[in-house]
Amino acid sequence: MNWDNPLFKSLSWSGEITNREQKEKVAKLVSEKVSKGDVIGVGSGSTALLALESISKRVKEEKLQITAIPTSKEAALHCNYYDIPTTTLLESRPNWGFDGADEVDEKLCLIKGRGGALFAEKLVMASSSKTYILVDESKFVSKLGEKYAVPIEVDPRAIHLVESELIKNFNPLLVKLRMANAKDGPVITETGNLLMDVKFQEITPLMEQQVKAIPGVIESGLFLNYSVEILSL
């Protein structure tokens, strides 16, 4: 593959990266955690991408030979671009991982999934004994749900059922099907599902399990009790 090709350039992070300077510094911090032979869960989004770039420099300079478990096709493409071999959860378990987040509260609970990769991100995080969450200052909130709606990945056959169960059980402020920007119709996830963005009145500790218990819900962007360490400036 010719990575100088404009096709790859359009695959790499297309939009402007917000708070880029902070994200780059945090990316450098996580690159210092890498040891030779590590199997690393690689998150998705702009911060995770900058971290991968920083890690790839160390890997090259110090010949570290790591393996990545990417959480999205985007992350897999970037691993390929940086010559980092990949594996899957079927073959290996990560020693540790890194990822970004949309919101972090003081109990280290997270909202993730702006990029739509929440299902694989949660699988990889739950399989890792530790995940570094890389955030710039804009991600800290005093109350989860303050800025972002919670993304929920739903089997396409279940959208009406899930919507009515969410309304019955939680009386949310807003339930919205996520629509695509560069294609007609809704966003379709990497596993062929749809995304609902839900603004809850309040996010409670049991909500991750309660939402997941609705038939048709594949996963939610609530990450309420995981082994995470926040890396920020």
Ligand X SMILES: O=C(CO)[C@H](O)[C@H](O)COP(=O)(O)O
Which positions touch ligand X (CB under 6 A)? 43-48, 99-102, 112-118, 121
In whole angstroms, how close is the CB of 33 to ligand X at the nearest point? 17
Nearer to ligand X, 48 or 196 (CB): 48
Closest listed residue to residue 67, CA positions, set 54, 49, 79, 81 = 79
In whole angstroms, how close is the CB of 164 to ligand X at the nearest point? 26
Q: Indicate the burial class of 16 (C-beta count within 10 angstroms; 0-12, 13-18, 19 or more).
A: exposed
Report the alpha-carbon distance of residue 100 to residue 17 in Å, rounded: 13
Nearer to ligand X, 165 or 189 (CB): 189
| Six-digit token string for 95 | 């020693």
Report the alpha-carbon distance of residue 181 to residue 24 in Å, rounded: 27
Asked about 121 being catalytic, the answer comes back as yes
Report the alpha-carbon distance of residue 86 to residue 145 in Å, rounded: 33
Instruction: Show Cβ contacts of residue 127 under 8 Å, excluding neighbours closer than 6 positions.
Output: 41, 69, 89, 93, 94
In whole angstroms, how close is the CB of 65 to ligand X at the nearest point? 26
Nearer to ligand X, 6 or 15 (CB): 15
Q: Please tell me which residue in 121, 153, 165, 208 is annotated as part of the active site.
A: 121
Reported as type and span, the H/E element at residue 96 is strand 96-99
In whole angstroms, how close is the CB of 63 to ligand X at the nearest point? 28
In whole angstroms, how close is the CB of 172 to ligand X at the nearest point? 20
Nearer to ligand X, 71 or 165 (CB): 71
In a 13 Å sphere around the CA of 111, the CA atoms on its Cβ side amount to 25
Tell me which residues are annotated as active site: 121
